[in-house]
Structure 1
Amino acid sequence: MASLTPRLFVPSTMDAWVYEDYGSPEKVLKLKSDVPMPEVNDDQVLIKVVAAALNPVDFKRMFGFFKYTDSLPPVRYGIAVVEVKVDFGTLAEYTFAEERMLALKPNNLSFTAAASLPLARETAHEGLERAGLTSGQSILILGGASGVGSLAIQACSLIQCLAKHVFGASKVAATSSTSKLELLRSLGADLAIDYTKENIDDLPEKFDVAFDTVGQCCEALKAAKEGGKVASILPGTTVPPAFEFVLTSKGSVLEKLKLPVLDPKSPFPFTKAVEAFSYLQTGRAIGKLVIFPIP
């Protein structure tokens, strides 16, 4: 999440996390000063960054998983409040985005909370929308305690379901490890499934929609009814007839931000970005990790 700063008062250089080669965050991610400010076009807004969320796609991109479609390093790292050009992210003092992709931060959310929401919230909403979830259908969310998974379950409070109350789902089920089952229930899941103890093949029912947020496409396919839809947010992991999608960000969706689920370790200070990425890579994070404050 960010605040707008008049161009008149912006310095010529900034502090930013940069990587100049592909590899693990511990080896390639460096904090540098005197990084040139981004050049902003007439249809773009220069943004003073206050807080930034980390996403699994961030370290995967750093490892080079998407190097054939991304810009080449050096990269000013981080995912923006909305998706922006790959070579400038939000682990920096300033970034930019097209005006149509922005929305004001709600007054009732802190910068830490607001920064955690956009990418995951938009992905959750678009995934359910593209899967064609309609009133009366059932859904299984694989990775219910992830940033996207938790927001796919919840809505305005921790006991409401986005899938239920926006899309009209008849039953919402979600998977997680044992320690996160109560979180799923508190978010509004009707059925919390412990993937460490229960096999998807052994579930007594199949689902109209399976939404994979953690790279378990084969399990999602097993859980779907014949003719059901399987959506995945992980590029390169889908198996037909499942489908993956590329998020299309727009400011109007950001205006519908809800309550986030933040990992207890959040926020990490700006100087501890490498440590934050290391923790994210363990797969033990709950909800979202946020860097705050950004000087």
Structure 2
Amino acid sequence: MSSPIPSKMKAWIYYEYGGVEVFKFESEVAVPELKDDQVLIKVVAASINPVDYKRRLGQFKAIDSPLPTIPGYDVAGVVVKVGSQVKGLKEGDEVYGDVNEKSMIHERPKQFGSLAEYTAVEERLLALRPKNLDFAQAASLPVAILTAYEGLESAGFSAGKSVLVLGGAGGVGSLVIQIAKLVFGASKVAATSSTGKLELLKSLGADLAIDYTKENFEDLQEKFDVVYDAVGQGDRAVKAVKEGGSVVFITGEAVPPGFFFRLHSDGEILKKLNPFLESGKIKPVLDPKGPYPFNKVNEAFAYLETNRAIGKVAIFPINP
């Protein structure tokens, strides 16, 4: 017998744009209403992304959903209620996904995201949690792994091609290295990081780990079929690509021949990648300072905003 769903929940919420100080941790927030194509998830873990704090700072004000906002794109949890049109999920299923179908650039994201005890999500955005990953590991993946996979796909990446990953130790970069090698069959993966993170890059499968504090990647003799820029290097990034190649930008300005990649959340891609996760071939990378407990989300954001995080910053447990 499942426990009854309350009408109120704890959530992180902000009523105005600004720094970490605008966050409020409230316990009397209404549990979201369910649409026919959605499931209600009891959130067990979440993770945070740069888009969350850029949104809170008001950088997307013109296309944002109305305030107040419960932030959070990434979620892992348990289905506690299903809408009338839901076919593939049932109560008790453990799921993960990115709760916003379109990236911030396309349309207004959900007003009530994953940094809450409950969140309502369209069935098509979700996949079952990989059996070998705990909830915090699963919650660390959706935005980053979808951005990594879809970005490479959009660049026309395929077996036998080479890629340079700028920001290889970050949430997205750490997964681009692995997906390029293991899913797409890259001939060579190079990646940049600071000195202390070079061993991590190699452990993820990078053939060449470049210390950006000591050498300029654009001065390498070798050029690459694709440069995946996860840090916003603009003009420098395009100097490292082969003629006819492509540069994927996910932050900063896109410089030709590069393009700005916009994420589209898709549960089918998560399902496709699950076997790579369940076999242990692709591993989530979580920052060792985390996971942060639910009542310290503001501290987690303050840390993420230093740009020093390794991999992803997870929030767990949401429901202790």
Taking structure 2 as the reference length, the TM-score comes to 0.84
Query: For structure 2, which runs of at least 5 residues remain unmatched after alignment?
Result: 75-96, 101-108, 278-282
| Most deviating of 99-108 and 283-292 | 99-108
How much is the aligned-residue C-alpha RMSD, in angstroms?
A: 1.5
Q: 190, 208, 214: which is aligned to 2:231?
A: 214
Distance 2:290 2:143 in 1: 17
Q: 230, 255, 266: which is aligned to 1:239?
A: 255
Contact 1:16 1:77 in 2 (8 A): no
Secondary structure of 1:40's partner?
Answer: coil
Asked if residue 267 in structure 1 is aligned to residue 291 in structure 2, the reply is: yes
Look up the equivalent residue of 1:205 and give its one-letter code. E
Contact 1:83 1:119 in 2 (8 A): no
Look up the equivalent residue of 1:145 and give its one-letter code. A
Matches within 5 A, 1:69-80: 69-80=63-74
Contact 2:18 2:56 in 1 (8 A): yes
CA deviations 1:263-294 (Å, max 9, x no partner) are 10111000111110011011111001100011
Equivalent residue number for residue 195 of structure 1: 212
Moved over 2 A (4+): 83-86
Deviation at 1:183, TM superposition (A): 0.4
Contact 2:226 2:247 in 1 (8 A): yes
Equivalent residue number for residue 42 of structure 1: 36
Q: 32, 57, 61: which is aligned to 2:51?
A: 57
Look up the equivalent residue of 2:217 and give its one-letter code. I
Asked if residue 12 in structure 1 is aligned to residue 7 in structure 2, the reply is: yes
Contact 2:293 2:316 in 1 (8 A): yes
Matches within 5 A, 1:139-154: 139-154=163-178
Deviation at 1:170, TM superposition (A): 1.2
Deviation at 1:67, TM superposition (A): 1.3
CA deviations 1:41-68 (Å, max 9, x no partner) are 1111111100001111111111111111
| Most deviating of 60-69 and 271-280 | 60-69
Look up the equivalent residue of 2:185 and give its one-letter code. G
Query: For structure 1, which runs of at least 5 residues remain unmatched after alignment?
Result: 155-161
Q: 28, 42, 45: which is aligned to 2:22?
A: 28
Deviation at 1:72, TM superposition (A): 2.8
In the alignment of these two chains, the number of paired residues is: 281
Distance 1:144 1:66 in 2: 26
Contact 1:77 1:88 in 2 (8 A): yes
Equivalent residue number for residue 240 of structure 2: 223
Distance 2:122 2:217 in 1: 42
Q: 135, 138, 156: which is aligned to 1:114?
A: 138
Distance 2:19 2:255 in 1: 27
What percentage of aligned pairs have identical amino acids?
61
Equivalent residue number for residue 266 of structure 2: 250
CA deviations 1:71-127 (Å, max 9, x no partner) are 132101211331324311111000011111111112211111111111111110001
Q: 110, 114, 127: which is aligned to 1:90?
A: 114
Look up the equivalent residue of 1:60 and give its one-letter code. K
